[in-house]
Amino acid sequence: MNDLITTVTDGFTSRFGAAPAGLWSAPGRVNLIGEHTDYNDGFVFPFAINRRTVVAFGLRSDRLLRVASSFAEESVELSLDDLAPENLAGWSAYPLGVAWALGQFGADLALVPGFDVFIDSDVPIGAGLSSSAAIESAVAVALNDLWQLGLDRRVLARVGQLAENRAVGAPTGIMDQSASLLGEADSAVFLDCRTLEAEVIPLGFDAAGLELLIIDTRVSHAHSTGGYASRRASCERGARMLGVTSLRDLTVDDLDRALDVLDDETFRRVRHVVTENRRVQDTVRTLREHGPTAIGALLDASHLSMRDDFEISVPELDLAVDTARGAGAIGARMTGGGFGGAAIALTPSALIAAVTAAVTAAFAVRGFTAPDLFVVRAADGAGRQQ
């Protein structure tokens, strides 16, 4: 964190020739459980992680916006008068898209001053830890303060989502921004994607001596976009055939009826979503009643459901999960959209080294690309840094 503070402060000063007015930051996130439930109006349970994006801001006396990042050679400049989704492209669409989206949520962009911003991050990009929500949330909290907008964090989450949907053009839900803005240390955010109600639930990983190991398989499959779209279509078809608005409206008691009505493949897609929603709720209840060592079986069941019913796993993810469990993780599952990406393994601190070694060795034996393994902790959400 201190390194990031130094790079953004120095980066800002050397690009813009003055010291920044302030620093803000926001974390990436990992989803503990609740996969492919968001677009079915269901439940997810992500937490903010100890990898952050830091932004250094200065206000200007004119209407110019200048954005720079350690991630890019070139700075991008645009007038507030030209701020519109069709004028935004590339990485700067994330920060500038947030500025535009604030205008859609009540900021009077005709009156606010321009700004300079320099951005740095240690959230890995494209590894499924949502570097995109980290940059959006950091910029959103900064501008909310600097432009004195007084928007609450739930609104800022929708600002980030709107920026990503309209300025970047990625049809994402609100999970990532909610985790990044509402997260708290050693806690996760229980989010109802229908009502957008969010509740912060203590995880108790620290007291139980547990850590979450990320196993990035570094696999990305060309058909992940098509696979995601076809799973969404199956869910919509299942809901339509069962006469409900979304799969959120079904419970496990409805699965017998679903078996009679649906073809085998659609039934299995539906069963994943229905049981996954139940597992998210069970995870929250189990944490409260029995603590974190009792949630392992729910993580395992989530993986099997994605592997067998939703069919979005790949051999690398299955190997990561099976090997981590065999080496002492108390529960493990693939996370994210599927067809590659990362698995997570809830692991006693004392066994992190053994699990890491076992997974690395198993990948080498199978001839798979070496995976990247690292621990994340549940951390505080976005805020002012200094």
Annotated binding site for substrate: 35-38, 228
Q: With left for phi above 0 and alpha for psi between -120 and 50, is residue 173 left, alpha or beta?
A: beta
Q: Which does 323 bind (CB under 5 to 8 A by kind): ligand ADP, Mg ion, none?
A: none
The nearest distance, CB 31 to Mg ion, in angstroms, is: 12
Handedness of CA 167, 173, 175, 176 (dihedral sign): negative
Nearer to ligand ADP among residue 5 and residue 208 (C-beta): 5
| Binding range to Mg ion, per CB under 5 A, among 64-72, 114-122, 130-138, 337-345 | 130-138
Q: How many CB atoms lie within 10 A of CB 304?
A: 15
Nearer to Mg ion among residue 137 and residue 347 (C-beta): 137
State both tokens at 36: 């492919």
Interaction of residue 132 with Mg ion, rule CB under 5 A:
yes
Q: How far apart are CA 60 and CA 65, in angstroms?
A: 8
Interaction of residue 71 with ligand ADP, rule CB under 6 A:
yes
E strand map for the chain: 22-31, 43-44, 46-59, 64-69, 76-79, 115-121, 187-192, 198-202, 210-220, 331-334, 340-348, 372-376, 383-384
Q: How far apart are CA 152 and CA 82, in angstroms?
A: 26
The nearest distance, CB 121 to ligand ADP, in angstroms, is: 4
Q: Annotated binding site for Mg(2+): which residue ranges?
A: 132, 164
**Segment holding 174, helix H or strand E:** none
DSSP state of 341: E
Interaction of residue 135 with ligand ADP, rule CB under 6 A:
yes
Interaction of residue 126 with ligand ADP, rule CB under 6 A:
yes
Q: Which of 116, 176, 216, 309 is catalytic?
A: 176
Q: Which residue is nearest to Mg ion (CB)?
A: 132
Nearer to ligand ADP among residue 191 and residue 298 (C-beta): 191
**Under a CB-based contact definition with an 8 Å cutoff, are residues 52 and 82 in contact?**
no
> Which residues are CB-contacts of 27 (< 8 A; sequence separation ≥ 6)?
48, 49, 50, 51, 52, 53, 123, 134, 137, 179, 180, 183, 379, 380, 381, 382
Q: Which does 180 bind (CB under 5 to 8 A by kind): Mg ion, ligand ADP, none?
A: none
Binding-site member from 12, 24, 39, 91 for ligand ADP (CB under 6 A)? 91
Binding-site member from 119, 146, 151, 262 for ligand ADP (CB under 6 A)? 119
176 labelled catalytic: yes
State both tokens at 112: 């606010």
Q: Convert 241-261 into a string of H (helix), E (strand) and C (coil).
A: HCCCCCHHHCCHHHHHHHHHH
Nearer to Mg ion among residue 130 and residue 137 (C-beta): 130
Nearer to Mg ion among residue 132 and residue 356 (C-beta): 132
Nearer to ligand ADP among residue 73 and residue 253 (C-beta): 73
| Binding range to Mg ion, per CB under 5 A, among 131-139, 220-228, 309-317, 376-384 | 131-139
Q: Which does 121 bind (CB under 5 to 8 A by kind): ligand ADP, Mg ion, none?
A: ligand ADP
Pairing of strands 64-69, 115-121: parallel
Task: Using alpha carbons only, give the angle 20, 24, 25 rounded to the nearest 5 degrees.
Answer: 135
The nearest distance, CB 380 to ligand ADP, in angstroms, is: 19
Positions marked catalytic: 176
Which residues of the shown chain bind Mg ion in the complex (CB under 5 A)? 130, 132
Which residues of the shown chain bind ligand ADP in the complex (CB under 6 A)? 53, 69, 71, 91, 94, 119, 121, 125-126, 128, 130-132, 135
